[in-house]
A and B are shown apart, each in its own frame.
Chain A
Amino acid sequence: MAALGHAILIIAFLLCLYGAGASIYGVRTGANDWIVSGRRSVYTLAVLMVIAFALVEDAFIANNFHFRIVASSSATTIPLYYRMAAPWSSQQGSLLLWVTLLSFWSSIVLFLTRRRMREIAPYATATLLGFAAFFDGLAIFYSNPFSQLPAGQVPVQGNGLDPLLMHPTMMIHPPMLYTGYTLMAVPFAFAVGALISGRLNSEWIRDTRRFALAAWLALGTGIMLGMLWSYTELGWGGYWGWDAVENAALLPWLTMTAFIHSIQIQEKRGMLKVWNVSLVLLSGVLTIFGTFLVRSGVLDSIHAFGASTLGVPFVILLAVMFFGSIGLVLWRRDSLRTEHRIDALLSREAAFLLQNVVLVALVFVIFWITVFPLISQALTGTKVSVGPPAFAPFVVPLGLALVLLTGVGPMISWRRATVANLRKNFVFPVSVGMIVLVLCLSVLNTGGHLLATLMFGFGAFVIAGVVQEFHRGASVRRTLTHRSYPASMYGLVRRNRRRYGGYLVHLGFAAAMIGVAASSAFEHSNTVTLAPGQSTVVGHYRFSYVRPTESVSSEKVVLGALINVTQNGRHVTTLRTERGIYPNTADAAGDGIVGQYFDTANADTTVGLDTGPLKNIWSVVQSEPTTRMVTLINSGNRLLFKAEATILARTRGESAAAQDYAVNHDPIDGLTLPQIRNIAVAGIARQYVTHPIPVQFLLIVSPMVMWLWLGGAMMVLGAVISLWPAPLAARRRELALYRSRLARELA
């Protein structure tokens, strides 16, 4: 299996080189057969990579510890669904996933465009195959997923998967991020193709727009799932830590957000060609930059792969992409000249452009602060970190401007807004925004957090604007079709998916930003040590530590706490927070037979959470084995070690397998060694409840966190609606509009 997998990787690498060469030769000589052959190389690559990935999956499912990555990232005790998700927890597996997804998406886009963009597609094919060759080459030469352990070193049990990764979101989060990253390569490749071929009309934009939106959706969903994982699993109470790798995923998402908006200006008015092509190229470069940050280990991050040797190849790729992109844009600057100019500052074009500037400023700020440790090290020899507080002075005002422009953009007219247009579209949303702002300042007394309060007002303005647009559209449609209001609303969205899907994204974004502002500015938290029966006040709530809890299963030992939450003497909720301690099989010899079940090196926290639309009550406990438990663990280790030694002495001279069998099955006073160990582990865990000690809690009360998740879900829904293929009639209408535009451009 491993030899087959390795052979597939090598064949795939050669196929990438052949396909890229065939595509370029074909387009340069006009030999269509070579172009078709290059495209078919991509299809074949996808098939090969799916087979290679299936081989790795099979190794994880079958607990084949001959595979180095299975031995280091899995164990027989891990449930099947987490074993299936384990490949992408390792560097080797995630590189393979990269190439597999890239080849899959490349195949789809090249199949869909096989009869169009004849001059552009071969260059795009070569670019996509270039990326595939790079990542496949890394898998072959640096980080081979089919690497095998020497025969004598194959363990009976694997090291296991990090407990933190055994979370439902972790089964989807990395593949979503990789889907986003690999889809980003599609518009990048077509932009390169358009620049090399000089076919810089709107055709390539139209054909890759859907893939750009899909990349935006996948990356955004991946980021949102990562935030949810952080909030419910990592035990620090936040959803965004401005970690270098988090930022690296956010950067291309922001540039792609800018692109999705600014291409509308190119489609409608033939403007911003340089800007659009630069945004696509920048998104591609930032995607690889993000991957470089994760894999090179140049910046300290919770997510980064450490001690990696992949930094140099990535730097070379980044340099080629960056300088190549600049060179191509400069080369084609005459063809990218804009056809029109912005007529007025009060126009949709100007609003979109300003929104683009804000997004790019955000990208610049986040990029600078993220890589500042490297810059400072290069300049002064010492790494200087600025940390999360440095982001706020820049990100908060830029975020406010972005939300405001999110509301303004869709409501203002193209070309030049008139007073009548402004009055018609803005009176209602502005009034709602003002009312919310005044209410927050007067009734809720939020004046101490002026910027957060402004966000509530701006968010309300956006939401009111979107509601107004939906209501107007549905009302007009009801008048025209004489159908019910809900049916009119459904028909409206169905017939204008791109537009109303976009409005839903705006609605979700405003709701999410309100959630971020509220939960950041008005959060109360306390780190406190409590004994059972003691209580503390956080925000307007009293948290009482009722009692410790424990449970033991074959998978883990769980030590936790029951917390009662009251407000003004009234019961609000009961929280159960726990810390699961998984057997540390990697260091069983060091921890001892009993001790390996209490080593907190392999622990994960279960958050005690009460969630609602207006507030979240969040808690974690820092459960640790008590001193009394540690004493008992040491005694248990000694006794069981002695018993094991007795059995081994009795079976001396027998084979290792026979000795292993005897250790696990020979009875001592009627019980086997594993049975005695299990009784000891259960008895020691029980001590946590019978002899409780004070433990440390992190308790947080934060308002409106749910708005962030609901807003995120709404953004996903809106993007899916926008992506969904339009009904045939609408598609034909759109195609006719596009053809007329293309004819004008060609003329």
Chain B
Amino acid sequence: MCENGSGMNPSRKRAIRLSVALTAAVLLASALIYVSFSAGRDELTAAQLLVKARPGGQYILAGTVENGSVRRVGSLLHFRVLAPNRRASVPVTYSGVVPDPFAPGRAVMVNVTDDNGEFVGQQNTLTTKCPSKYQAASGAAVS
């Protein structure tokens, strides 16, 4: 309640400020959750992609470039991406900037579109992990 014309009860003022702050926080959190789920894309391994992919669907493919699978035809780069268990792999056709560390045996991520079983990488979406950071798990060889 206002004690005079110019002021407001301090506790009420605090309550209003807290409500405004909480409302803003809730709005921000809601927007974040909405954007995260609506704009997100599944980040799949090769094995998951083979099961889940639908023609025209867009996915993020993560895995390791299969040894001996890299082939360049004109400006197109063809390679296969292996699943972590190395049992499944999918073919990818990619055009655009290829990061310097890209090589067989290295981990990559690429946005792909399912073109009837052929996975077409979206231009300039191929990223490769920095190979210097490939510290092997204890005892394993450095890739």
The answer, yes or no, to whether B41 is at the interface (CB within 8 Å) is yes
Contact B138 A142 (CB under 8 A): yes
Instruction: Select B101's contact among A72, A164, A308, A620, beta carbons within 8 Å.
Output: A164
Instruction: Give the chain A neighbours of B132 by CB distance below 8 A.
Output: 73, 89-90, 161-162, 164-165
Closest B residue to A698 by CB, please name it. B97
Residues facing A in B24-50 (CB within 8 A) are 28, 31-32, 35-37, 39-44, 48
10 A-B contacts (beta carbon < 8 Å):
A91-B135, A164-B100, A303-B133, A304-B133, A306-B129, A307-B135, A369-B32, A385-B41, A527-B124, A696-B75
How long is the Cα–Cα vector from A300 to B32 in the complex, in angstroms? 21
Chain B residues with a Cβ under 8 A of chain A: 10, 21, 28, 31-32, 35-37, 39-44, 48, 60, 62, 72, 74-75, 95-104, 106-107, 109, 123-124, 127-138, 140, 142
Knowing A234-B100, A527-B124, the reply to whether A162 touches B131 (Cβ < 8 A) is yes
Contact A162 B101 (CB under 8 A): yes
How long is the Cα–Cα vector from A357 to B20 in the complex, in angstroms? 13
Contact B31 A394 (CB under 8 A): yes
- B21 → A minimal CB distance (Å): 8
The answer, yes or no, to whether A127 is at the interface (CB within 8 Å) is no
How long is the Cα–Cα vector from A162 to B133 in the complex, in angstroms? 9
Instruction: Give the chain A neighbours of B101 by CB distance below 8 A.
Output: 162, 164, 601
Contact B42 A384 (CB under 8 A): yes
How long is the Cα–Cα vector from A10 to B98 in the complex, in angstroms? 44
Instruction: Select A382's contact among B28, B42, B74, beta carbons within 8 Å.
Output: B42
Knowing A162-B130, A236-B97, the reply to whether A307 touches B36 (Cβ < 8 A) is no
The answer, yes or no, to whether A642 is at the interface (CB within 8 Å) is no
Closest B residue to A599 by CB, please name it. B103
The answer, yes or no, to whether A387 is at the interface (CB within 8 Å) is yes
How long is the Cα–Cα vector from A72 to B142 in the complex, in angstroms? 8
Contact B100 A304 (CB under 8 A): no
Contact A234 B31 (CB under 8 A): no
How long is the Cα–Cα vector from A599 to B106 in the complex, in angstroms? 14
Instruction: Select B135's contact among A90, A361, A394, A696, beta carbons within 8 Å.
Output: A90
Contact B36 A529 (CB under 8 A): no
How long is the Cα–Cα vector from A600 to B142 in the complex, in angstroms? 18
How long is the Cα–Cα vector from A217 to B78 in the complex, in angstroms? 45
Contact B137 A308 (CB under 8 A): yes
How long is the Cα–Cα vector from A341 to B17 in the complex, in angstroms? 13
- B23 → A minimal CB distance (Å): 13
Contact A368 B97 (CB under 8 A): no
Instruction: Give the chain B neighbours of A92 by CB distance below 8 A.
Output: 135
How long is the Cα–Cα vector from A390 to B40 in the complex, in angstroms? 8
Instruction: Give the chain B neighbours of A163 by CB distance below 8 A.
Output: 100
- A94 → B minimal CB distance (Å): 10
Closest A residue to B111 by CB, please name it. A387
Knowing A73-B132, A300-B107, A302-B129, the reply to whether A372 touches B100 (Cβ < 8 A) is no
How long is the Cα–Cα vector from A389 to B96 in the complex, in angstroms? 19
The answer, yes or no, to whether A624 is at the interface (CB within 8 Å) is yes
Closest A residue to B41 by CB, please name it. A385
Contact A600 B40 (CB under 8 A): no
How long is the Cα–Cα vector from A210 to B42 in the complex, in angstroms? 45
The answer, yes or no, to whether A21 is at the interface (CB within 8 Å) is no
Instruction: Give the chain A neighbours of B48 by CB distance below 8 A.
Output: 382
Contact B100 A603 (CB under 8 A): yes
Point out which of A308, A369, A386, A605 has the most chain B C-beta atoms below 10 A from its C-beta: A386
- B109 → A minimal CB distance (Å): 6
The answer, yes or no, to whether A221 is at the interface (CB within 8 Å) is no
Instruction: Give the chain A neighbours of B129 by CB distance below 8 A.
Output: 300-302, 304, 306
Instruction: Give the chain B neighbours of A372 by CB distance below 8 A.
Output: 36, 40
Contact B100 A384 (CB under 8 A): no
Instruction: Give the chain A neighbours of B131 by CB distance below 8 A.
Output: 162
Size of the A side of the interface (Cβ < 8 Å), in residues, is: 63
Question: Majority SS of interface residues in chain A?
Answer: mixed
Contact B32 A368 (CB under 8 A): yes
Closest B residue to A584 by CB, please name it. B103
Instruction: Give the chain B neighbours of A361 by CB distance below 8 A.
Output: 28
Closest B residue to A141 by CB, please name it. B138
The answer, yes or no, to whether A365 is at the interface (CB within 8 Å) is yes
How long is the Cα–Cα vector from A376 to B101 in the complex, in angstroms? 29
The answer, yes or no, to whether A111 is at the interface (CB within 8 Å) is no
How long is the Cα–Cα vector from A723 to B136 in the complex, in angstroms? 41
The answer, yes or no, to whether A197 is at the interface (CB within 8 Å) is no
Knowing A236-B124, A307-B140, A527-B123, the reply to whether A365 touches B28 (Cβ < 8 A) is yes
How long is the Cα–Cα vector from A143 to B36 in the complex, in angstroms? 36
How long is the Cα–Cα vector from A696 to B36 in the complex, in angstroms? 34
Contact B142 A390 (CB under 8 A): no
Instruction: Give the chain B neighbours of A365 by CB distance below 8 A.
Output: 28, 32
Instruction: Give the chain A neighbours of B95 by CB distance below 8 A.
Output: 527
Knowing A304-B133, A306-B129, A376-B40, the reply to whether A390 touches B97 (Cβ < 8 A) is no
Instruction: Give the chain B neighbours of A307 by CB distance below 8 A.
Output: 134-137, 140
The answer, yes or no, to whether A235 is at the interface (CB within 8 Å) is yes
How long is the Cα–Cα vector from A369 to B97 in the complex, in angstroms? 25
Closest A residue to B28 by CB, please name it. A361
The answer, yes or no, to whether A571 is at the interface (CB within 8 Å) is no
The answer, yes or no, to whether A246 is at the interface (CB within 8 Å) is no
Residues facing B in A106-160 (CB within 8 A) are 142-143, 159
How long is the Cα–Cα vector from A392 to B60 in the complex, in angstroms? 20
How long is the Cα–Cα vector from A603 to B99 in the complex, in angstroms? 9
Point out which of A161, A304, A385 has the most chain B C-beta atoms below 10 A from its C-beta: A385
The answer, yes or no, to whether A604 is at the interface (CB within 8 Å) is yes
Q: A382-B44, A527-B97 are in contact. List 16 more A-B contacts (CB 8 A).
A: A90-B135, A165-B130, A235-B97, A236-B99, A307-B135, A309-B137, A364-B28, A368-B36, A376-B36, A385-B40, A527-B96, A600-B102, A601-B103, A601-B104, A604-B100, A694-B75
Interface pairs A-B: 9 shortest CB-CB: A601-B103, A384-B40, A383-B43, A162-B132, A91-B135, A307-B137, A305-B133, A529-B75, A385-B43
Knowing A309-B137, A373-B43, the reply to whether A600 touches B32 (Cβ < 8 A) is no
Closest B residue to A342 by CB, please name it. B17
How long is the Cα–Cα vector from A383 to B72 in the complex, in angstroms? 30
- A211 → B minimal CB distance (Å): 29
Residues facing B in A163-211 (CB within 8 A) are 163-165
Instruction: Give the chain B neighbours of A376 by CB distance below 8 A.
Output: 36-37, 40
How long is the Cα–Cα vector from A92 to B142 in the complex, in angstroms? 13
- B71 → A minimal CB distance (Å): 11
Instruction: Give the chain A neighbours of B75 by CB distance below 8 A.
Output: 529, 694, 696
Knowing A235-B100, A361-B28, the reply to whether A300 touches B37 (Cβ < 8 A) is no
Contact B127 A143 (CB under 8 A): no
Instruction: Give the chain A neighbours of B123 by CB distance below 8 A.
Output: 527
Instruction: Give the chain A neighbours of B43 by CB distance below 8 A.
Output: 300, 373, 382-385
